[in-house]
Amino acid sequence: MSPTQTQYDVAIIGAGVCGSALTYVLSQYTNIERIVLLEKCSDAAQVNSRVYNNSQTLHFGDIETNYTLQKAEKVNRAASLVKQYLLKYDAQQIIHSRYHKMVLAVGAEQVHTLQQRYHEFKTLFPALWPIDRAEIDMVEPNILKGRDPKIPVSALFTEEGYAVDYQKLARSFLDQVQQQQAQQQTQQDNEVGDRTVDMRFDTRVQKLEKVGDRYRIFTDQRDQTDQQVISAKTVVVAAGAYSLLFAKSLGYGHDYALLCVAGSFYRAQSALNGKVYTMQSKKLPFAAIHGDPEVHDPTITRFGPTAKVLPLLERYRLSTLGDYFKTAGLSLAAVLSFAAILLDFTVFSYICRNFLYDLPFIGKRLFIKEARRIVPSITLAQLEYAKGYGGLRPQIVNMKKRGLDMGEAKLLGDRIIFNITPSPGASTCLQTAEDDTERLITFLGGGYRFDKARFLADLGSPAVVVSS
Ligand SMILES: Cc1cc2nc3c(=O)[nH]c(=O)nc-3n(C[C@H](O)[C@H](O)[C@H](O)COP(=O)(O)OP(=O)(O)OC[C@H]3O[C@@H](n4cnc5c(N)ncnc54)[C@H](O)[C@@H]3O)c2cc1C
């Protein structure tokens, strides 16, 4: 047995949409020869990237009123990479569907705020335009049916809405890697030499250790060469909420804990034709409820996600309870940070209400008020709890600031990267992969190259190429 058989240049832990996107970018656009992807499930994207576990939205920042202009600029660039990938490789719309989308303002105050927002954002999003009551009625009649005609409404509208099956997107990335491997075997591709990309499913990483200039990765599986321990020069941990636990095990991320927010959904038949977002409440850190047609079935509208705080690292997996407490820590700093976040009256009452939404009988009766903000005439009989849907957003608690850091987080260590990916982590998967690829090339040193020009020529929209 050769000692190099379990030695890699890069090990990626987690084959969600982010780990899969990175495997794709490394194998297509770098000359890194030995890559391993380690995943505890039997296939890619079975946790938050699973099709039923998220809102299936490609977030650009145009209708997300919880984003600042600065955040929208970043997310727009990132989402454009995914959009270009879909346009290039998913012309048949197996992975995604196109729907129109809008953000709806109800009442004079919201209408005014949305108008101001339009002026601030219109240069960044030229395809977004304001529409009035009559135009709303034409595209989404159910928004106005049963609504008080005296209350002013307006919306920002665009045809550029994408619903994405991130589970299929992850699979597509890995299929491309496999195709490239197969081609390489037949063509003896000189540029990449003897590239190996091992994808190991049903392989749980149990422990990471740094020994000298390599990482030792302990798994629960023996491979064909009877090796349980894998050695890698560099590591990217793309394990969702588990990334923070791994970071802490190596002495990183001590200032962080996680507030894990489960999101459930309700469903209704043909309530909307496209995506309808509502205005964000400034007092709440969680995104407002929206209505979205299912990616593969436009006749089903999903309302959600709710925001239920749970002490778990993965939804519906009670076995992750112990790990949650290890991640959060029971330090005074952690307790004070959670108290500072949750004891705000608006946040606390919102969280309590969100707990109730999952309960049988009463949940639907409470949630319908949220759904009626979008479709006022929706009835209890039309609304159905989407059982088994919804993942868990690992929101980052910054224990130094005693508050939430919204969005994704990246912790950098010695030749190791940890990605923690609440929403919009799926929309930004290729951007995260691009950033990580650049870092990995630096970690690995001379002789390694990232063909960023080709990456952007393939996936960058013209605006992206210019701004890079
Ligand atoms: C309710 C909800 C709605 C959302 N809506 C949207 C949306 O509309 N748009 C959007 O962009 N984002 C959305 N998100 C966020 C999005 O789902 C995530 O950002 C994205 O799926 C994260 O991908 P990931 O690959 O980082 O993590 P995951 O998909 O969770 O993958 C992590 C992988 O790591 C594996 N893993 C963990 N531990 C180990 C281990 N020890 N060994 C081996 N493997 C391990 C897991 O099995 C899993 O496959 C939403 C999330 C939720 C919960």
Q: What is the Å distance from ligand 1's center to 305 Cα? A: 15
Which residue's alpha carbon is nearest to atom 19 within ligand 1?
425
For 303-327, the pLDDT digits (tens) are 999 999 999 999 999 999 999 999 8
pLDDT of residue 243: 98
Which residue's alpha carbon is nearest to atom 33 within ligand 1?
14
Given ligand 1 and candidates 23, 48, 411, which is best to mutate, with the most ligand atoms within 8 Å of its CB?
48
* Residue that wins the pLDDT comparison between 106 and 184: 106
Q: How far is CA 332 from CA 255, 329, 400, in A?
A: 12, 9, 12
Q: Provide the whole-model pTM.
A: 0.95
Of the candidates 302, 14, 15, the one whose C-alpha atom is nearest the C-alpha of residue 167 is: 15
Is the pLDDT score of 158 beyond 80?
yes
In the structure, what pLDDT confidence band is assigned to residue 192 with cuts at 50, 70 and 90? low
pLDDT of residue 18: 98
Q: How confident is the model over 246-274, as a mean pLDDT?
A: 96
Is the pLDDT score of 370 beyond 70?
yes
For 221-245, the pLDDT digits (tens) are 866 665 689 999 999 999 999 999 9
Q: What is the Å distance from ligand 1's center to 48 Cα? A: 3
Phi, psi values for residue 265, rounded to 5°: -135, 150
Domains of the chain: 1-56+165-254+407-467 (3.50.50.60), 256-273+298-399 (no CATH)
Q: What is the Å distance from ligand 1's center to 392 Cα? A: 8
For 352-366, the pLDDT digits (tens) are 999 999 999 999 999
DSSP 450: B
Give helix then strand counts, H and E, for the chain.
Answer: 14, 20
Phi, psi values for residue 364, rounded to 5°: -65, -35
Q: How confident is the model over 165-189, as a mean pLDDT?
A: 90
Say how far apart CA 124 and CA 73 lie, in whole Å. 7
- Which two structure tokens, joined as six digits, stand for 418? 């940890």
pLDDT of residue 424: 95
Q: How confident is the model over 4-25, as a mean pLDDT?
A: 93
The residue count for the chain = 468
Q: Indicate the residue type of 75.
A: V
Q: How confident is the model over 26-37, as a mean pLDDT?
A: 97
% of residues, the chain, pLDDT over 70: 94
Contact between 271 and 382 (Cβ < 8 Å): yes
Q: Indicate the residue type of 355.
A: F
Average pLDDT, the chain: 93
Q: Which atom of ligand 1 is nearest to the CA of 166?
A: 21
Is the pLDDT score of 217 beyond 50?
yes
For 74-121, the pLDDT digits (tens) are 999 999 999 999 999 999 999 999 999 999 999 999 999 999 999 999
Q: How confident is the model over 204-208, as a mean pLDDT?
A: 96
Which residue's alpha carbon is nearest to atom 14 within ligand 1?
423
Is the pLDDT score of 467 beyond 70?
no
pLDDT of residue 287: 83
Q: What is the Å distance from ligand 1's center to 18 Cα? A: 8
In this structure, the residues whose C-beta lies within 6 A of any atom of ligand 1 are 13-19, 38-41, 45-49, 53-57, 59, 166, 204-205, 238-240, 242, 263, 305, 390-393, 419, 421-427
Is the pLDDT score of 465 beyond 50?
no
Is the pLDDT score of 188 beyond 80?
no
Q: How confident is the model over 181-205, as a mean pLDDT?
A: 81
Q: How far is CA 42 from the centre of its chain?
A: 20
Sheet holding 256-262, edge to edge: 308-309, 256-262, 392-398, 403-405
Q: What is the Å distance from ligand 1's center to 180 Cα? A: 25
Q: What is the Å distance from ligand 1's center to 317 Cα? A: 14
Q: What is the Å distance from ligand 1's center to 416 Cα? A: 19
Q: Say if residue 183 is exposed, middle or buried (CB neighbours under 10 Å; 0-12, 13-18, 19+).
A: exposed
Given ligand 1 and candidates 49, 51, 95, 228, which is best to mutate, with the most ligand atoms within 8 Å of its CB?
49
Is the pLDDT score of 206 beyond 70?
yes
Which residue's alpha carbon is nearest to atom 3 within ligand 1?
54
**From the CA atom positions of the chain, what is the Rg in Å?**
23
Contact between 374 and 155 (Cβ < 8 Å): no
Per DSSP, the residues of 8-38 read EEEEEE--SHHHHHHHHHHHHHB---EEEEE
Alpha helices in 268-378 (DSSP H): 321-328, 332-342, 345-356, 362-374
CB atoms within 10 A of CB 452: 17
